[in-house]
Structure 1
Amino acid sequence: MSDTMQPPFSILFVDDDEMSRNHFARAMSADYNVHVARDADEAMTVLSRYGAEIAVLVTDFRMPGRDGDDLLREVAQAYPQIVRILVTAYADKDMLLQTVNTGDVFRILEKPLRTDMVREVLQLATARYTERETRQQRLLAMDETLAFLAHELNTPLATISLCARSVENDVAAQYDPQRQREIGLAATSMLNNAQYCLTLISSFWATVHKSGGQQSASGGATRAVRATRLIAALLDTYPFVASQRDWVKVDVEGDFVVHAMPNCVALVLSSLLSNALRALDGRSAPSLRVEVVAFPEPEIRIRDNGPGIAPEIKARLLQDPVTTHSGAGGHGMGMIFCNRIMQSFGGCLRIESTLGAGTTVTMGFPGSNGRLHATGDEEPSDTQLASR
């Protein structure tokens, strides 16, 4: 697979009837990756493995053990981004009302299922999933960016506060009283402003987290997003100039799930893309390749055929504020910023460059098994239906 084509959405179909599961899988596998489960417990097992990629849950109501209502409520709590559809052969008004109210059901389908109706509803459901995902990503972007800014600004602001307090207390004796007073007032102003900024950051961040609706950027609450989807979203929204978009090609050797801070990863991608495009400006045949690799380790590589970077500059790019485009306003903090983001969740940034031959920047992600689908000698179980 190459360029910006994304893998299809995945659907989880839950029904205790094997014939129904097989019919649904055959009918829908041409358009979606289909997973199936025979009951609520098996469905939760499938979600624990594939929850990051499943967009829609379609479940029967009447099943042995826990029914569809119980499953819908559990999924609504654990995987709120998944759009939920109920299938029933029973016209029980009270049951349907209770399920809709407690499980946040997108649609209710009556048995026997008609293929054309299911396809229509799934199209609407995946559109709703995309809307939810976009909204959630915007909220996460604010949360993660604020978290990073708070981390980066707290230390220098605290240092300013300490220096200001020291100046305020130790004004040199050689200054006349008027000068001492002026220096003291300036130091007090520095201290007050630094403390104000610290308080403002802390207060704003607390307000964001109390407002609800978004997940934290740390710990288990972090959402998982596929690498190809991050790249496709970036290329769809990046402000390319003139023919720049034509320079970019995407090669996918194996997709994987980005488990940590997807919006901060998107910031890194945007920064690296910007650097590569700037390096290609004026080249006779500009080429920029974005490569996605799942094995042996999950990586995203940004490869350009620009002028390359001198070894003495490349050696300092991830540690010191050096820049190869100071004339265009560069300050040399971009690569340091990107490196710190990658390191914050156990990843890394690597730079390979040859003068006159181009540069490759590799974003390395933690984990050695980030593929979306099982591989190797495993036989597919009933809970894993082969994708198209």
Structure 2
Amino acid sequence: MNDPRQARPTLLYVDDEEMACKYFARAVGNEYEVLLAGSAEEAISILRGKGSRIAILVTDFRMPGRDGGDLLRQVALESPQIVRILVTAYADKDMLLQTVNTGEVFRILEKPLELGQVRETLRLAAERYRERTVRHQRLVAIDETLAFLAHELNTPLAAIANFARGIESRIAAEYNPQRQSEIGQAATSMHDNAQYCLAVISSFLQSVRSNGSRASPQNNTSREVTAGTLVAALLDTYPFAGQQREWVQVEVHGDFAVHTLPNCVALVLSSLLSNALRALDGVGSPSLRFVVADEPDAAIRICDNGPGIPPEVMGRLLVDPVTTHAGTGGNGLGMIFCNRVMQSFGGGIRIESTSGVGTTVTLDFPNTKSRMHRSNR
């Protein structure tokens, strides 16, 4: 894979006219490493040998044998990371519409080529390639993280579910009816929660992978996912216990689109909600607020009036596996995971906590305060 920061992106120019190839190479050779092909077949051969280096494909449409449109379709399937540009001297409206609408081309250049337009189009194409490459690297990083979590959690969760069923089947002969009921309810709860976690892990991992594999510029026309929508969906599906849902309020002071990996953000929100609810257990008048705001920067805040986080834990919370809830199953890995997810697409987490007053966790989104902050008031 090309380094997205490379000084001279590699470009493949395809045209059956030798003079056109030479002219193009001379015109942009100072800014790009230019590879030349005289046909679609030769271009495919070069792509198979050097495809990992190539950032941009520029091809003429009318060529003997396979035309440029056919070449673009194959490259779109086999090397979707390459930014594709079509050159044509023919006003073939149907062909142009089909090529654009199927997402096979980034831009269309008309012959005779105007050098200024060519350079601007190539600049935009190189920028698009860098964006695609960075996004792919982030998807790989988050996929590896999720795969690791799935591997680490699936086995113990399955074991818990099996143990719970075993407990249910054995208690009848060993305890009085009241004790049987208590243990049976606990075993059922263990089993149901383990099964719920297994289902969440499986469906979420599949969703992220599927969305990542389908990602392409034409998908940007789909309905935007907003921060407010993510919060609302979380509260609709989260398995609240008892009166917990009544503790939660939502304030939207300005909604905003979550452009990158909304499924990952949803998982972060779910983890933070779980932490906040655990902190509120035993609080006299529990209160938990989700605040969505787009000013001064896009952010989601989760505010609770729990006991707060001890200073000795605050200093290590985002970097070490520390927890204040070890007795109820906490292991301190949740905040580290949330930290990595937010950082993977340029966001950040800030945590503020006051002993005896409560805690506020703020998710900052890309193009805002992307640095990680921790402060104790």
Compute the TM-score of the two structures, normalised by the length of structure 2. 0.50
Q: CA deviation at 1:37?
A: 1.1
Conserved 8 A contact 2:5-2:130: no
Equivalent residue runs for 1:1-388 within 5 Å: 6-102=6-102, 104-171=104-171, 177-208=177-208, 213-214=213-214, 329-330=320-321
Deviation at 1:62, TM superposition (A): 1.9
Q: Cα gap change, 1:165/1:24 in structure 2, threshold over 3 Å: closer, same or farther?
A: same
Go from structure 1 to structure 2 and tell me whether the alpha carbon gap of 1:171 and 1:95 turns closer, same or farther (over 3 Å shift): closer
Residue 84 of structure 1 deviates from its aligned partner by 1.4
Return the alpha-carbon distance in structure 2 between the equivalents of residues 333 and 19 of structure 1.
65
Say which structure, 1 or 2, has more relative contact order (CA 8 Å, 6+ apart).
1
Q: What is the Cα deviation at residue 80 of structure 1?
A: 2.2
Q: Which amino acid aligns with 1:44?
A: I
Name the counterpart of 2:326.
none
Deviation at 1:154, TM superposition (A): 0.9
1:281-328: CA deviation from partner (whole Å, max 9, x where unpaired):
xxxxxxxxxxxxxxxxxxxxxxxxxxxxxxxxxxxxxxxxxxxx99x7
State the 1:194 CA deviation.
0.7
- C-alpha change, 1:116 and 1:182, in structure 2 (3 Å) is same
- TM superposition shift of 1:213: 4.9
* Structure 2 counterpart of 1:196, one-letter code: Y
Deviation at 1:26, TM superposition (A): 3.0
| Paired residues, number | 224
**Structure 2: unaligned runs, 5 residues or longer:** 216-315, 323-330, 334-377
Q: CA deviation at 1:95?
A: 4.1
Q: Deviations over 1:130-172 (max 9, x none)?
A: 3334444555555443333222211110111122222333349
Q: For the aligned residues, what is the CA RMSD?
A: 3.7
Q: Is the Cα contact below 8 Å between 2:57 and 2:85 reproduced in 1?
A: yes
Q: Retained in 2: the 8 A contact 1:140–1:214?
A: no
AA aligned opposite 1:329: D
Structure 1 residues 207 and 117 mapped into 2: Cα distance closer, same or farther (>3 Å)? Answer: closer
Q: Is the 8 A contact 2:154 2:198 kept in 1?
A: yes
Measure how far apart 1:5 and its partner are.
5.9
CA apart distance, 1:192: 1.6
Query: Does the aligned pair in 2 maintain the 1:69–1:103 contact within 8 Å?
Result: no
CA distance in 1, matches of 2:202, 2:189: 20
- Contact 1:72–1:103 (8 Å) recurs in 2: no
Following the alignment from structure 1 to structure 2, what is the Cα–Cα distance between the partners of residues 88 and 108?
7
- Residues of 1 paired with 2:332 and 2:131: CA distance? 34
Q: For the residues of structure 2 that align with 1:173 and 1:100, how far apart are their CA atoms?
A: 71
Name the residue aligned to 1:303: none
Counterpart Cα distance in 2 of 1:179 and 1:94: 76
Distance 1:171 1:12, change over 3 A: same
Offset of residue 126 of structure 1: 1.2
Could you tell me how far apart the structure 1 residues matched to 2:45 and 2:31 are? 23
TM-score of the superposition, structure 1-length normalised? 0.49
Quickly say closer, same or farther: Cα 1:105–1:210, change in 2 above 3 A.
closer
**Residue in 2 that maps onto 1:251:** none
| Secondary structure in 1 matching 2:214 | coil
Shift in CA distance, 180/100, structure 1 to aligned 2, threshold 3 Å: closer
Name the structure 1 match of 2:264. Answer: none
For the Cα contact (< 8 Å) 1:54–1:82, is it kept in 2? yes
* Percent identity over paired residues: 61
Deviation (angstroms), 1:125 = 1.2
- Could you tell me whether the CA contact under 8 Å between 1:69 and 1:99 is conserved in 2? yes
Aligned to 2:361: none
